[in-house]
């Protein structure tokens, strides 16, 4: 029994209006009202995929991990008990706020709140209308995208995400952080998406390094690059990753040290996948231009 997909992300930020503009006018998501003090944003037929609420954290506040039904949720509850992982059940108020039928609330070994849930709300009667030119995002069985989790102990995090939550290692990249510093990043999948979560001991005081959204076409990526370049947010130029082969770029969000990756064209994984190791993040491109544009 394992997590099926990444369903949603919730951020607590100091500048909600800046995030609203960023997610709608720069990224192209659709504003979808509010739940409590959180502004909601859509990327597809789901009622919401990203929530932004006011808070001093300026970081990822929680991540929603989806299972298929109530029985799968109970199997995950049993697995958490057997592993000695503390959790609570979301009450009716929280279920209404998250627009799900049931959820379990827990934390990963380093304090990131996780919500394992089933039964998300869909809104086919209200078609997804992007706020900026984008033909759409690749979601469905692959979920909303991925995020890179910053952890002080990768081995401990790996044990939790693989042995308890059921993620599977896709590959490892040894990322050069300086002339004498290399950080191994472990990329984990739970469906056909090459990685839904990556784990790395990056030396930044944030829960995540970035989150990624996958667009339908390469032109979507180009248009988004132009928008975010005009906004002065580009941190790395277009490039293609070594491991999943995504063509993408990176840009700053309104919260310092947290980026968005906007990409297209990754390869997928299946039962025939073989774990390998890389010593570069990119086949080509992804030149850092932080502070230069």
The mean pLDDT value of the chain amounts to 97
Average pLDDT in the 76-86 region? 98
Dihedral of the CA atoms 136, 141, 146, 152 (nearest 10)? 170
pLDDT > 90? residue 285: yes
At 46, is the pLDDT very low, low, confident or very high (cuts 50, 70, 90)? Answer: very high
Say if CB 103 and CB 95 are below 8 A apart: yes
Provide the β-strand partners of residue 122: 46
Dump pLDDT digits (tens) for 1-27.
689 999 999 999 999 999 999 999 999
To the question of domain 140-285 being in CATH 3.10.180.10, the answer is yes
- Domain 5-118: which topology? 2,3-Dihydroxybiphenyl 1,2-Dioxygenase; domain 1 (3.10.180)
What pLDDT digit, counting tens, does each position of 151-205 carry? Answer: 999 999 999 999 999 999 999 999 988 788 899 999 999 999 999 999 999 999 9
Any idea where the domains of the chain sit in the sequence?
5-118, 140-285
Phi, psi of 27 (to 5 degrees): -85, -40
The two three-digit tokens of residue 145, written as one number = 């995208």
What pTM was estimated for this model as a whole? 0.97
CA 132 from centroid of its chain's CA atoms: 20
Phi/psi for 212 (5° steps) reads -125, 140
Q: How far apart are CA 69 and CA 182, in angstroms?
A: 41
Q: Interior CA angle at 285 toward 283 and 291, to 5°?
A: 140
What's the confidence (pLDDT) of residue 293?
Answer: 66
Contact status, residue 191 vs residue 223, Cβ threshold 8 Å: no
> Does 140-285 match 5-118 at the fold level?
yes
């Amino acid at each position: 029994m394992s997590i099926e997909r990444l369903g949603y992300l919730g951020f607590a930020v100091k500048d909600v209006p800046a995030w609203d503009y960023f997610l709608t006018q720069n990224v192209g998501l659709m504003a979808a009202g509010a739940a409590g003090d959180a502004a909601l944003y859509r990327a597809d037929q789901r009622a919401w995929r990203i929530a932004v609420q006011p808070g001093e954290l300026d970081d990822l506040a929680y991540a929603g991990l989806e299972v298929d039904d109530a029985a799968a949720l109970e199997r995950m509850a049993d697995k958490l008990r057997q592993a000695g992982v503390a959790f609570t059940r979301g009450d009716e108020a929280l279920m209404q706020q998250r627009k799900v039928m049931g959820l379990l609330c827990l934390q990963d070994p380093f304090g990131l709140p996780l919500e394992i849930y089933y039964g998300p709300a869909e809104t086919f009667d209200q078609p997804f209308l992007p706020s900026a030119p984008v033909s759409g995002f690749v979601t469905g069985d692959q979920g909303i995208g991925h995020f890179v989790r910053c952890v002080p102990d990768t081995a401990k995090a790996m044990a939790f995400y693989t042995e308890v939550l059921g993620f599977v290692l896709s590959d490892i990249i040894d990322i050069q952080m300086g002339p004498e510093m290399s950080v191994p990043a472990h990329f984990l999948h739970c469906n056909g998406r090459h990685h839904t979560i990556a784990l790395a001991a990056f030396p930044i005081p944030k829960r995540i390094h970035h989150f990624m959204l996958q667009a339908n076409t390469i032109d979507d990526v180009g248009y988004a690059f132009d928008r975010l370049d005009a906004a002065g947010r580009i941190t790395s130029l277009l490039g293609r990753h070594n491991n999943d082969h995504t063509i993408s770029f990176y840009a700053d969000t309104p919260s310092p040290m947290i980026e968005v990756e906007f990409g297209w064209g990754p390869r997928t994984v299946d039962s025939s996948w073989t774990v390998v190791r890389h010593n570069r993040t990119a086949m080509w491109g992804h030149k850092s231009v932080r502070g230069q544009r």
